[in-house]
Amino acid sequence: MIEIKNLNKYYGKHHVLKDINLDIREPGIYAILGPNGSGKSTLLKSIIGLVNPQQGDITMNGSNVAGSHAYRKDISYLPQIAKFPDNLRVIEMIGLIKEIRNEEADESELVRLFQLESEMRKRLRNLSGGTRQKVNMVLGFLFDTPYLILDEPTISLDPVSLTKFRKIISEKRKQGKIIIYTTHIMNLVEELSDHIILLLEGRVIFEGGIEGIYRETGSSSLENAISMLVDKNGK
């Protein structure tokens, strides 16, 4: 369970997260939506402890995450912009992540699923954007953790990989995990989300189930409903 209370983050004078309150308690899929720059990545990074908010509290299973590291072993994190050492080979990168986490894991099924067998000996800098994202995906799903935080996992994925991604997260949902993700693919959210959190300029402007968003806007297309809420709440 993740509880976020009165979270505020500033970058200099720029107020990036504004009084965020969230209760992520039930297992299932939480989709964080919102236009570019609305604070989605900053919110996810705050949960992981990669960003230090100036005000507010985040607790995981009742303990404050500030200054603590132990809780991170319960989280798998797929960053939006992965800054991996470019000269490493894929296989070395996977080894490095296991070493850093000090955990054993078997990547072979994921490697096969994303058809990365022939890429394993290549250096990261030589991979195409889509292949890089598939490697990112393997790293994100490598450890069996109760929480998954995925920042734009679907970026530059081809349709085949996207289908595999769908399968993995619906499986994780069945296993009772908490999955928090951002994406711009609205039909994915329509299919795979139990809870929507819509951010605009650092504020939560909608929180609830997909039915709630349809009811509130009178629209039955998620894309349309989101853009109506953004227009209504924007400056």
Ligand X SMILES: Nc1ncnc2c1ncn2[C@@H]1O[C@H](COP(=O)(O)OP(=O)(O)O)[C@@H](O)[C@H]1O
Residues in 20-39 at the binding interface with ligand X, rule: CB under 6 A: 34, 36-39
Q: Which is nearer to Mg ion, 89 or 203 (CB)?
A: 203
Q: Which stretch binds ligand X (CB under 6 A): 8-16, 90-98, 117-125, 206-214?
A: 8-16
With the C-alpha atoms ordered 92, 98, 104, 110, is the resulting torsion angle positive or negative?
negative
Separation between Cα atoms, residue 200 and residue 16, nearest integer Å: 10
* Tokens linked to 47: 């949960």
| Per CB under 6 A, 53 contacts ligand X | no
Which residue in the set 41, 76, 133, 145 belongs to the binding site for ligand X (CB under 6 A)? 41
Closest contact distance (angstroms) between CB of 174 and ligand X is 28
**What is the helix (H) or strand (E) element at residue 198, kind and residue range?**
strand 195-200
Q: Does residue number 40 form part of the binding site for ligand X (CB under 6 A)?
A: yes
16 is a site residue for ligand X (CB under 6 A): yes
Q: Which residue in 38, 41, 76, 133 binds Mg ion (CB under 5 A)?
A: 41
With H, G, I as helix, E, B as strand and everything else as coil, classify residue 116: coil
Nearest-angstrom CA–CA distance, 102 and 81? 23
Instruction: Give which of ligand X, Mg ion, none residue 16 binds (C-beta under 5 to 8 Å, depending on kind).
Output: ligand X
Identify which of residues 10 and 214 has a Cβ nearer to Mg ion in the complex: 10
Taking the CB of residue 73, how many other CB atoms lie within 10 A of it? 12
- Token look-up 């993700």 returns 181
